[in-house]
Chain A
Amino acid sequence: TQLLEQSPQFLSIQEGENLTVYCNSSSVFSSLQWYRQEPGEGPVLLVTVVTGGEVKKLKRLTFQFGDARKDSSLHITAAQTGDTGLYLCAGALSFGNEKLTFGTGTRLTIIP
């Protein structure tokens, strides 16, 4: 069983549309990160959320950490082709724990 399930697994939408991807778990995390990985590159950290219910905005990207710290969502407004990539969530089970658990990933394609 996967500790962190991401949905959808694949998403293809037109440029300018909005979208939300989800990261769900039955475990409680002390913090959760979102990464984006472009083809041929390593994942790049987008944001870290720490507090239950926390909402963080990064330009057109809005990240939310669930109140119970078991799930998270990423909402993109007015998607652009540069948003194309593999989106990974990763949870830390305790502070200072070097073992992050990664989700299954959502592969997003923005069509011009």
Chain B
Amino acid sequence: ETGVTQTPRHLVMGMTNKKSLKCEQHLGHNAMYWYKQSAKKPLELMFVYNFKEQTENNSVPSRFSPECPNSSHLFLHLHTLQPEDSALYLCASSQKEGNTGELFFGEGSRLTVL
């Protein structure tokens, strides 16, 4: 496999469920990101990890919990979500050193909260 892969592609969950989104990158990058894409809103940065260390938490509610066990894998653990959390969740990666912020995105996980 190449690039950035995300699973599952689609997820429907109730407000009391616990689920996780997974992201894996095969590009040898050191930084990984979670973005939220909602209708009629710009892409919103949620979390950034550099070399497995979280460097950014963009005021994200605690019902979203990221995990980065190594520089190739990134998870987003979800619990007690709200219907307004329904969105496309995009994972991305980039090089850290000498980059100009270029991001390589996965195909996204479409989340629906009932």
Q: Which of A29-44 contact B (CB under 8 A)?
A: 30-31, 33, 35, 40-44
- Tell me if A62 counts as interface (CB < 8 A to partner B): no
Chain A 49-71 interface mask (CB, 8 Å, partner B; 1/0) = 01000000000000000000000
By size class, the interface of chain A is: 20 to 34
Cβ of A6 to closest chain B Cβ, rounded Å: 9
Which of B55, B56, B97, B108 has the largest number of chain A CB atoms within 10 A? B108
B43 engages A42 (CB within 8 Å): no
Cβ of A104 to closest chain B Cβ, rounded Å: 5
- Tell me if B48 counts as interface (CB < 8 A to partner A): yes
CB-defined contacts of A48 to chain B, threshold 8 Å: 100, 102
Cβ of A37 to closest chain B Cβ, rounded Å: 8
B contact residues, total (Cβ < 8 Å) = 27
- Nearest CB in chain B to that of A29: its residue: B101
Cβ of B48 to closest chain A Cβ, rounded Å: 5
Cβ of B83 to closest chain A Cβ, rounded Å: 22
- Nearest CB in chain A to that of B35: its residue: A102
User: Given B43, B94, B100, which contacts A30 in the complex, CB threshold below 8 Å?
Assistant: B100
CB-defined contacts of A44 to chain B, threshold 8 Å: 105
Which residues of A does B touch, CB under 8 Å? 2, 4, 30-31, 33, 35, 40-45, 48, 50, 88, 90, 92, 95-105
10 nearest interchain CB pairs? A42-B105, A92-B101, A102-B43, A31-B100, A102-B42, A100-B101, A43-B105, A42-B107, A42-B108, A42-B106
Which residues of B does A touch, CB under 8 Å? 4, 6, 31, 33, 42-43, 45, 48, 50, 55-56, 90, 92, 94, 96-108
Query: Please, could you name 22 A-B residue pairs with CB atoms under 8 Å apart, sorted by A?
Result: A2-B42, A31-B100, A33-B102, A33-B103, A40-B107, A40-B108, A42-B90, A42-B105, A43-B103, A50-B100, A90-B103, A96-B96, A96-B98, A98-B94, A98-B96, A98-B101, A99-B45, A99-B56, A99-B101, A102-B42, A103-B42, A104-B42
